[in-house]
Amino acid sequence: MSIEFFLDGRAVSAEPGQTILEVATANGFKIPTLCRENRISRTTSCFVCVVRDKKSGRFLPSCSACPAPGQEIEVTSPEVLDMRRTALNLLLSEHTGDCEAPCTLACPAHASVEEYVRAGRKGNFLESLKIIKKRIPLPMSIGRVCPRFCEKECRRNVYGKPVAINEFKRLAADLFYDEYMEELPPETGKRVAIVGGGPAGLSAAYYLRLEGVAVTIFEAMPKAGGMIRYGIPEYRLPKSAVLDRELEHFTKLGVQFEFGRKLGDNLSLDELKQKFDAVVIAIGCWKASGMRCEGEELVTQGIDFLRGVIENDCHAANPGKVIVVGGGNTAMDCVRTSVRLGSGDVNCFYRRTEAEMPAEKIEIAEAREEGVKFHFLVAPVKVEKRGDKLVMTCRRMELGEPDASGRRKPVEIPGSDYEVEADTIIAAIGQSAAIPAGVPVSRFRTVEVQDGTLRIADNVYAAGDCVSGAATVVEGVASGRKAALEIVTALTGKEFPPEPTINVSRGKWQDLKKEDLVFLRDNVSEADREKLDFIPIEERKSTFHEVTSTMPKERVMKEGERCIECSCTDKHDCKLRSHAECAGCKTDAIKGGKLPVTYDTRHPLIIQDRGKCIRCGVCVKICKEVVNKTLLSPKKRGFYTYVGTAFDKGFPASCGECGECINACPVGALDWRNKE
């Protein structure tokens, strides 16, 4: 005799003994649950599967409640969804772990750092390169010039120096770049025009080609590369030995280049829109910001200075005494280039202190090694020409309140003006996009795109620095890839899964101690970080030779042994993560204390990570009711409840490693240790 009742107003029928969840699932409703596992008796613990009895307003765990005749059950009412979201938020609030490794989350391109470091550690740098190129199509360049966002968040910072992640990219690319040829799918017949052959444009081209889209890059300059060719000095990124080799690959992939084509000059956007299925504007930030002081026309712009030297094959006149104004990476490129051109007196003027300098610390240190002098808390007020010398009037500054960027704002000290003399003054203050007419401009003087996308309008997209403002190469390639995927979806309907937004984190490494980390691998190396080999300082100061050499394979492999492998073993199929994602949860919606990190890796194959356990008890019952062993049991009470083994002695010899508990665990609390 079946029971007739209603799910969200729809009449359904249940056999006696059937739960609401079973009937709902059979009728196409998707009710999330973490603790229901069909082979065991009910645990009724997660309360993620709640539904509501319309009449009484009572919430019922649908995994256990059986319907009553005529009962009206709400499956997707706002109250039910809210209750589920709260249950998941509560579970997230006690969850400890790193869903994704911090290095990957820090990487603008979201490269699978842990995976390519692991492949490299095992000596498989071809595999490493394949993983890298899923997100970073310019590994040879980025492997040299990346500011290493990943390393700044590396958990090894908790005790010692971060893993030298970027060396993996550099070595993998140096070893196998020419050898590795991507498999291209059949052509889709779609064609995309890309304006600008810098990192963003190249990246967009690469990922479009991987989806079978034909690509033509229109480049204003005579060669491709954009800022990595014309902005980054030879000593950091050799042009013919490295960049040309890297860009050759794009031609092999079938990317067409048209050089000397500049938008708004000899290239019409309307024409591109007509001729191509989509257009990507990736024109970068090539307009230097002025010094905004009297006599600024006497000053050389940093990016023009660098480009001039590069275009002239590193040959240029000795600039004499040099003053570079600015504290960013371009300023560092300018001072170090000046040193190499023979100037014996190179000075960097910055209006805040070293702590606030946006330049990479390593760049500042290397500049100092090369003899550059730094002058802090000074700003230019006036530049004038006196004879064949330039004279800059400077004003001393002091630090005031923090500004919007969080850095303390420089405040002028009245009456502190003084003059300095120089042969060359270079402004490296900042860059912006020179946006041609017909392209919408945002209030930040960047290309305006639609919220959350890189689409401007119609079939026109934008990517890279011209959207974000001057940024790094890796941010450029990330942006280019995003544009490519959006275009592929628009042109072919192919969907790409979005990056997960649920990323539980152990916290910032600055707040952690070594005990807070989980060491999944045995024998994580305790050695110090491998050091880069530099060419001799005299060679650095007098030539444009690459400053560092690629680290040898053996040392990079050894460095890889230092990786802790922070990400969760279950990151791809954790039910808590996927349900939380669907329910619109936030990992910090409910804040509160978490249990101290306790995990068990005494078993050679299995990890038990208590911080990830949701105490659903499924593993306990699987072992008892399905495997007919009782190796796991809940211990303690309340918030401190955990699942443990007898006398906390770890899995006994009687454990047959059948993996049932691991397969049943909805999260990564019980898992195989070996990540592949």
- The contact set with another protein (CB under 8 A) reads 42-48, 50, 58-59, 61, 64-66, 83, 86-87, 90-91, 93-94, 590, 592-593, 614-615, 617, 633-634, 636-641
DSSP three-state, residue 373 = strand
Q: CB of residue 593 vs another protein: minimum separation in angstroms?
A: 6
In the bound state with another protein, the residue whose beta carbon lies nearer, of 95 and 336, is: 95
**Contacts (Cβ under 8 Å, ≥6 apart) of 61:** 44, 47, 49, 50
In the bound state with another protein, the residue whose beta carbon lies nearer, of 45 and 598, is: 45
Q: CB of residue 11 vs another protein: minimum separation in angstroms?
A: 23
| CB-CB contact of 439 with 456 (8 Å) | yes
User: Which DSSP state fits 447?
Assistant: B
Q: CB of residue 662 vs another protein: minimum separation in angstroms?
A: 21
Over its C-alpha atoms, the chain yields an Rg (Å, rounded) of: 30
Write the single-letter amino acid at 243: L
Q: CB of residue 617 vs another protein: minimum separation in angstroms?
A: 7
Q: CB of residue 651 vs another protein: minimum separation in angstroms?
A: 20
Q: CB of residue 620 vs another protein: minimum separation in angstroms?
A: 9
Q: CB of residue 581 vs another protein: minimum separation in angstroms?
A: 18
Q: CB of residue 61 vs another protein: minimum separation in angstroms?
A: 6
In the bound state with another protein, the residue whose beta carbon lies nearer, of 3 and 220, is: 3
In the bound state with another protein, the residue whose beta carbon lies nearer, of 90 and 109, is: 90
Nearest to 425 by CA among 454, 460, 391: 391
In the bound state with another protein, the residue whose beta carbon lies nearer, of 21 and 195, is: 21
Nearest to 113 by CA among 98, 126, 122, 101: 101
DSSP three-state, residue 10 = strand
Distance, CA of 322 to CA of 340 (rounded, Å): 12
| CB-CB contact of 379 with 326 (8 Å) | no
Q: CB of residue 23 vs another protein: minimum separation in angstroms?
A: 16
Q: CB of residue 62 vs another protein: minimum separation in angstroms?
A: 11
Distance, CA of 284 to CA of 473 (rounded, Å): 11
Distance, CA of 58 to CA of 176 (rounded, Å): 62
In the bound state with another protein, the residue whose beta carbon lies nearer, of 601 and 641, is: 641
Q: CB of residue 44 vs another protein: minimum separation in angstroms?
A: 4
Sign of the alpha-carbon torsion through 227, 232, 237, 240: positive
In the bound state with another protein, the residue whose beta carbon lies nearer, of 89 and 300, is: 89
Distance, CA of 364 to CA of 147 (rounded, Å): 13
In the bound state with another protein, the residue whose beta carbon lies nearer, of 94 and 369, is: 94
Q: CB of residue 20 vs another protein: minimum separation in angstroms?
A: 12
Q: Which residue has the tokens 């600015």?
A: 326
Q: What is the dihedral of CA 439, 445, 447, 453, to 10 degrees?
A: -140
| CB-CB contact of 392 with 293 (8 Å) | no
Give the 3-state DSSP-derived string for 292-307, with helices as H, strands as E and coil as C.
Answer: CCECHHHCEEHHHHHH
In the bound state with another protein, the residue whose beta carbon lies nearer, of 339 and 616, is: 616
Distance, CA of 572 to CA of 99 (rounded, Å): 9
Q: CB of residue 192 vs another protein: minimum separation in angstroms?
A: 48
Q: Which residue intervals of 177-220 are DSSP H helices?
A: 199-209
| CB-CB contact of 229 with 189 (8 Å) | no
Helix, strand, coil abundance in the chain, percent, nearest 5: 35, 20, 50
In the bound state with another protein, the residue whose beta carbon lies nearer, of 93 and 353, is: 93
In the bound state with another protein, the residue whose beta carbon lies nearer, of 406 and 592, is: 592
In the bound state with another protein, the residue whose beta carbon lies nearer, of 81 and 314, is: 81
Beta bridge partners of 672: 606
DSSP three-state, residue 386 = strand
In the bound state with another protein, the residue whose beta carbon lies nearer, of 59 and 305, is: 59
Burial of 410 (0-12, 13-18, 19+ CB in 10 A): buried
DSSP three-state, residue 497 = coil
Six-digit token string for 72: 């009206």
Distance, CA of 209 to CA of 185 (rounded, Å): 8
Q: CB of residue 624 vs another protein: minimum separation in angstroms?
A: 10
In the bound state with another protein, the residue whose beta carbon lies nearer, of 65 and 502, is: 65
Sign of the alpha-carbon torsion through 362, 367, 371, 375: negative
Q: Which residue has the tokens 């970027």?
A: 166
Alpha carbon of 104 to those of 302, 356, 567, 574: distances in Å?
32, 26, 9, 18
Q: CB of residue 343 vs another protein: minimum separation in angstroms?
A: 57
In the bound state with another protein, the residue whose beta carbon lies nearer, of 90 and 377, is: 90
